[in-house]
DNA sequence: CTGTTAGCGCTTTCAG
DNA sequence: CTGAAAGCGCTAACAG
């Protein structure tokens, strides 16, 4: 049967309490005798003793586990529908994968036993199920649609850190990628290449939080270059083509997927990337290498962001005030941009 | 403070034992009085009582949680290196994301409270940390490299189901995509289009398990079509070009990434897809739409596979014998294949 | 420095 | 059909 702390105690000739003290390795007022501690550790290792998590959790009131709520990917949004361009859902899974990779790795490095993952579901459900299972929660919201999970959780009872958003209540920290800085980088790159008439392709302010930020980054760069008057945005292919015919030589797209659409539109209109138009995307999604012969884009640091999320949450658990962090992006230059 | 079962009991005018019986909703020899049960449920809901997971786990010896070990994505393999084609790591994360999405959704549907995720680490580490935290474990191995985690776990003590492999010990069930059937579908599609000289591009039998299976599927289709003598494989670009010049009109690539490499090679040699050569990939990765103008490929059902993994593991927990399942793939026809 | 004791919150016999 | 009592395995006070 499974070993109990008492078995180890007997084998080592000490009391269960001593074993506990040695194994938890905590700071005690009066330390444990080094020889005793060593003996206990050796015996525990030899016997292969592993403390029972449930008992420990019950006693201490903590679990040493962190929770993550991932944005739901509903089954009604299949990935890779026959012949159809619906990479958006797949893309979200890519980010989920990167986020999990980042979270998991960081958790391990920081000695957190495990991550409890819960897919977003009916409001409050996650809160109820996770209650008592975790010490703190990371909420990875889907930037493409709002959700109210944060409203259903009490940050006083359960320390919270939100990922992938910059809009959180005071008691909730957050970690997001620096979307605004990213498009700024992209636009500056085009400016450096001599482009002046640069159009932003995207939903912009009318879109979700991140898209609004991305457009602002473009505007920041344009204004800083004294081209504030030339700020243009469209999400209509027809308009884009006429803008290019009217002298625009570069496009900043709000996502790689949008960039792919732009590339296709330009191609149909007989315009070549990058000879006629330079094109920059955002996300550096899997497959960006294949868009427009190799898309220059902004790397979205999902894994890094997630790792920061763990750090931030652990700091929160240690009593530090909520932090608000932006993880820097970086430009990935490929072949879709060229000097004017 | 947090509510205890006793508080509910007092409020409902019954004993804690009764509350427990009602709330766990188990089959008891003599049922609970319907009115009492109803009253207890109502009170519990009104008060917002949630049973303490740790206490319950300790008492029952089960946790209601399933674990998942994900293949490690080491930090030394950054995604999206500057300008470099290293989509492989990113691709794995895509699959991780799909797997998590599938697992999470299935777990929720089956009423499993949560998934505990642990990244693959030093041997035995996962086993030690997960001990006592979960009722069963899904091991998602990285098909690209062997690992010994399965050897460090005792399927008798912890029910195990492996994902993404078809080679597991007797006591361990597994769920994998039908790689062999997938390339068979792809090859049959080319045969139907009139192609006869079809070459397989990949590492094949010399590669990992899945790649060997994929090549076999190609061979199956060729043999079934009476073209067993024309079976050809290469992983060398130069050789591929000369094969095409020698009359080969179609290529089955072992992955979408490989297909992208093929497309590039053919392009450089002045050959067009699909006019000169038809090309089929495997995985339907994010971005496959952009390879060779829209890659015809085999959809890799990662999410479906993961969902099956949960079902299989739950069956295992219910006492059923280990299952071995293959989840069917399906062909996604785009624009990289054409009649001969 | 080490051992004894009590009890975390729940479920489950076993009596009533 | 319901309640009383015991105890899951561990840790934290408090004695020694």
| Amino acid B78: pLDDT | 43
Assess whether pLDDT exceeds 90 at residue B247. Answer: yes
- The backbone torsions φ and ψ at residue A42, rounded to the nearest 5 degrees and listed phi first, read -65, -50
Q: How far is CA A20 from CA A35, A51, B239, in A?
A: 15, 9, 65
**Rg for chain B (alpha carbons), in Å?**
26
* C-alpha B142, offset from chain centre: 10
Residue A157, pLDDT score: 81
Give kind and range of the element (H or E) at residue B64.
none
Instruction: Give the pLDDT confidence of B304-317 residue by residue, as tens digits.
Output: 999 999 999 999 99
Distance B17 CA to D7 C1' (A): 14
- Percent share of chain B, pLDDT over 90: 44
Look at residue A263 in the predicted model and tell me its pLDDT: 94
Contacts of B97 in chain A (CB under 8 A): 92-100
Length of chain B: 340
- pLDDT of B87: 56
Task: Give the model's confidence band at B40: pLDDT under 50 very low, under 70 low, under 90 confident, else very high.
Answer: confident
Residues 7-36 of A with CB under 7 A from strand D: 16-17, 19-21, 23-24, 26
Check residue A145 and give its pLDDT. Answer: 57
Q: Report helix, strand or coil for A162.
A: strand
* Percent of the residues in chain B that have a pLDDT greater than 70, as a whole number: 86
Q: Say if residue B94 is exposed, middle or buried (CB neighbours under 10 Å; 0-12, 13-18, 19+).
A: buried
Report whether the peptide linkage leading into residue B274 is cis, meaning its omega lies within 30 degrees of zero: yes
- Closest approach of B142 to chain A, Cα-based (Å): 13
Query: What does the pLDDT look like over B86-97, one tens digit per residue?
Result: 556 666 667 777
Q: Would you call the peptide bond into A274 cis, given omega within 30 degrees of 0 as the criterion?
A: yes
User: Tokens representing B308?
Assistant: 């099956």
- pLDDT recorded at residue B167: 86
Closest residue by Cα to residue B254 from B274, B276, B234, B228: B234
Residues of A in contact with B99 (CB under 8 A): 97
CB–CB contacts below 8 A, A to B: 214
Contact A79 B303 (CB under 8 A): yes
Nearest residue for C12, CA–C1': B17
Q: pLDDT tens for residues A138-153?
A: 988 765 555 566 677 7
> What's the pTM?
0.86
Phi first, then psi, for residue B6 (nearest 5°) are -65, -40
pLDDT at A76: 40
Instruction: List A88's β-bridge partners, or say none.
Output: none
Residues of chain A with pLDDT below 70 are: 1, 26-31, 72-93, 120-124, 127, 142-150
The nearest CA of chain B is from the CA of A249 a distance in Å of: 22
Min Cα separation A262/chain B (Å): 12
Check whether residue A52 has its CB closer than 7 Å to nucleic acid strand D: yes
Give the CA dihedral A233, A236, A241, A243, nearest 10 degrees. Answer: -30
DSSP assignment string, A18-61: HHHHHHHT---SSPPPHHHHHHHHHHHHHHT----HHHHHHHHS
Give the tens place of pLDDT for each residue, B131-150: 778 999 998 876 555 556 66
* Residue whose pair of structure tokens reads 């990662």 in the numeric block: B302
Give the list of residues 6+ apart from residue A143 with CB closer than 8 angstroms, or none. A164, A165, A208, A209, A210
Q: What average pLDDT does the segment B148-160 reach? A: 78
């Amino acid at each position: 049967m499974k070993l109990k702390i008492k078995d180890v105690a007997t084998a080592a000739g000490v009391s269960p309490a001593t074993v506990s003290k040695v194994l938890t390795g905590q700071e005690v007022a009066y330390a444990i005798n080094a020889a005793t501690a060593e003996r206990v550790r050796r015996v525990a290792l030899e016997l292969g003793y592993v403390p029972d998590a449930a008992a420990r959790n019950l006693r201490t009131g903590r679990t040493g586990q962190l929770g993550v709520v991932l944005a739901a990917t509903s089954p009604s949004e299949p990935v890779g529908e026959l012949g159809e361009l619906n990479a958006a859902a797949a893309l979200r899974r890519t980010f989920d994968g990167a986020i999990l990779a980042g979270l998991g790795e960081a958790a391990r490095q920081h000695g957190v036993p495990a991550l409890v993952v819960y897919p977003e579901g009916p409001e409050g459900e996650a809160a109820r199920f996770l209650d008592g299972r975790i010490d703190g929660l990371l909420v990875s919201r889907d930037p493409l649609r709002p959700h109210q999970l944060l409203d259903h959780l009490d940050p006083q009872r359960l320390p919270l850190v939100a990922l992938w958003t910059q809009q959180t209540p005071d008691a909730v920290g957050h970690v997001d990628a620096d979307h605004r800085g990213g498009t700024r980088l992209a636009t500056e790159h085009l400016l450096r290449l001599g482009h002046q008439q640069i159009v932003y392709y995207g939903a912009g302010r009318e879109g979700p939080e991140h898209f609004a930020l991305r457009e602002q980054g473009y505007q920041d760069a344009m204004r800083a270059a004294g081209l504030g008057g030339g700020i243009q945005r469209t999400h209509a292919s027809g308009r884009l083509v006429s803008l290019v015919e009217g002298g625009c030589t570069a496009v900043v797209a709000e996502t790689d997927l949008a960039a792919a659409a732009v590339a296709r539109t330009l191609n149909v209109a007989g315009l070549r990337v990058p000879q006629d138009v330079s094109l920059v995307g955002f996300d550096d999604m899997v497959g960006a290498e294949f868009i427009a012969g190799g898309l220059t884009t902004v790397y979205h640091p999902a894994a890094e962001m997630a790792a920061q999320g763990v750090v931030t949450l652990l700091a929160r658990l240690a009593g530090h005030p909520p932090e608000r962090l932006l993880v820097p992006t970086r430009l990935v230059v490929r072949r879709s941009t060229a000097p004017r």
